[in-house]
Amino acid sequence: MPVQPAQRAVTVRVPAKVNVQLAVGAPRPDGFHDLANVFLAVGLYDHVTATPSPTPGVTVSCSGPGSELVPLDGGNLAVRAAEALAGHHGVAAAVHLHIEKDIPVAGGMAGGSADAAGALVACDALWGTGTSRAELLALCAELGSDVPFSLVGGAALGRGRGERLTELPVAGTFHWVFALADGGLSTPEVYRACDRLRGATPVPEPEADPALLAALRDGDAHALAAVLVNDLQPAAVELRPSLAATLAAGLAGGALAGLVSGSGPSCAFLVADAESAELVAKSLRASGTCRAARVTNGPAPGATTIGSHA
Ligand code: C5P
């Protein structure tokens, strides 16, 4: 009897991100906020493996805490991504997804978005559905505001709610230290707190800062440090006051600048080089103001298929 070839599993690697500029406009009628969102992908990765399975399912292993915050049902963004792709092509979502998480869970580093982008790319390869880049980006945008960037990686300006991307040129490598916190922060809650703190103050249209785009293009860490900004930071610090001490500890430890990453609670510190990254991380760990400190750099590539195996 001929031996059936084993069906293959596909593994896709997806990066975390930091927002080097997050300019937030007034709330829109649909509840979202228009943004000028400058994303930089960094080298902390989740791996999503798609394996053929008659019973769809998802399992998760985490390098850090927070696995209890990752849904194991249809609430998981990776599962929704697989279902959206299957629906798009009219095929069954007959897949088991395994997510190996190294991106901090609910940390403001787009871990859930990364998993969704990874699942799309992995399932597309597994099912041979040959989805075009434009279709993939449209599916990403339906899944969440940050998902298109997780697919693309590198550096990009996100307009609209962050899903309309223009890729940005970056010279060289920027070195970062991330201070990780216990527990997550809810993104909708942080946006609501941002609106509340602003009260009746008129909110300007969010615009990308030309000095920041130039700093990225020139690979100038000192210039970038001078203009890093996150409009969600006051809200994140209000909801998690201990972040003020974390931000101060990173600066005292020698970082060029620090800011809350996305909606938090991770804090990102830009440093001059790989050597100072180690020193700042050590100093953050010793400060007792964070759960852990991770050294990384960016830009990092977007969703990348790293293995296709039996
Ligand atoms: O798009 P995503 O599902 O990641 O958004 C999560 C939540 O974050 C939204 O429901 C909304 O409350 C908030 N958000 C926003 N404006 C954006 C992006 C997200 O208000 N541009």
pLDDT tens for residues 177-222?
A: 999 999 899 999 999 999 999 999 999 999 999 999 999 999 999 9
Q: For residue 60, what are the contacts with CB-CB under 8 A and spacing of at least 6?
A: 67, 70, 72, 98, 99, 100, 101
- Looking at the chain, the domain(s) classified CATH 3.30.70.890 span 174-298
Give 83: exposed, middle or buried? Use CB within 10 Å, 0-12, 13-18, 19+: middle
Q: What is the pLDDT of residue 3?
A: 40
Can you tell me the mean pLDDT for 117-142?
98
How many Å lie between the centroid of ligand 1 and the Cα of residue 146? 9
Q: Give me the DSSP letters along 11-63.
A: EEEEEEEEEEEEEEEEEPTTS-EEEEEEEEEEEEEEEEEEEE-SS-EEEEEES
State which ligand 1 atom lies nearest to the alpha carbon of 263. Answer: 8
Q: What is the pLDDT of residue 106?
A: 85
Q: What is the pLDDT of residue 5?
A: 41
Q: What are the pLDDT digits (tens) for 225-267?
A: 999 999 999 999 999 999 999 999 999 999 999 999 999 999 9
Q: What is the pLDDT of residue 8?
A: 87
In percent, the amount of the chain with pLDDT more than 70 equals 97
46: pLDDT strictly greater than 90: yes
Q: Which of 60-74, 76-90, 196-210, 234-248 has the lowest mean pLDDT?
A: 60-74
4: pLDDT strictly greater than 80: no
DSSP state letter for 153: B
264 lines ligand 1 (CB under 6 A): no
2 lines ligand 1 (CB under 6 A): no
CATH code of the domain occupying 9-168: 3.30.230.10
User: Mean pLDDT over all residues of the chain?
Assistant: 95
Which pair of tokens denotes residue 148?
Answer: 């298109």
pTM equals 0.96
State the distance between the two ends of the chain, measured CA to CA, in whole angstroms.
Answer: 20
State which ligand 1 atom lies nearest to the alpha carbon of 191. Answer: 20
Q: Is 282 a catalytic residue?
A: no
158 lines ligand 1 (CB under 6 A): no
Whole-angstrom Cα distance, residue 288 to residue 233? 21
The pair phi, psi for residue 60, each rounded to 5°, is: -135, 135
Can you tell me the mean pLDDT for 95-124?
96
CA 255 to chain CA mean position, Å? 22
What is the second-level CATH architecture of the domain 174-298? 2-Layer Sandwich (3.30)
Residue 183 assigned to a binding site = no
How many Å lie between the centroid of ligand 1 and the Cα of residue 135? 21
Residue 206 assigned to a binding site = no
- Looking at the chain, the domain(s) classified CATH 3.30.230.10 span 9-168
169: pLDDT strictly greater than 50: yes
2: pLDDT strictly greater than 60: no
Residue 108 assigned to a binding site = yes
Q: What is the pLDDT of residue 174?
A: 98
| 118: confidence class by pLDDT, cuts 50, 70, 90 | very high
Q: What is the pLDDT of residue 310?
A: 65
Q: Is 17 a catalytic residue?
A: yes
How many Å lie between the centroid of ligand 1 and the Cα of residue 187? 7
Pairing between strand 9-27 and 33-52? antiparallel
| 66: confidence class by pLDDT, cuts 50, 70, 90 | confident
35 lines ligand 1 (CB under 6 A): yes
Q: What is the pLDDT of residue 7?
A: 60
Which pair of tokens denotes residue 268?
Answer: 């990102």
162 lines ligand 1 (CB under 6 A): yes
- Of the candidates 115, 124, 146, 231, the residue annotated as catalytic is 146
Can you tell me the mean pLDDT for 26-33?
97
Following CA atoms 240, 114, 52, 132 in sequence, which dihedral angle do they give, to the nearest 10 degrees? 150
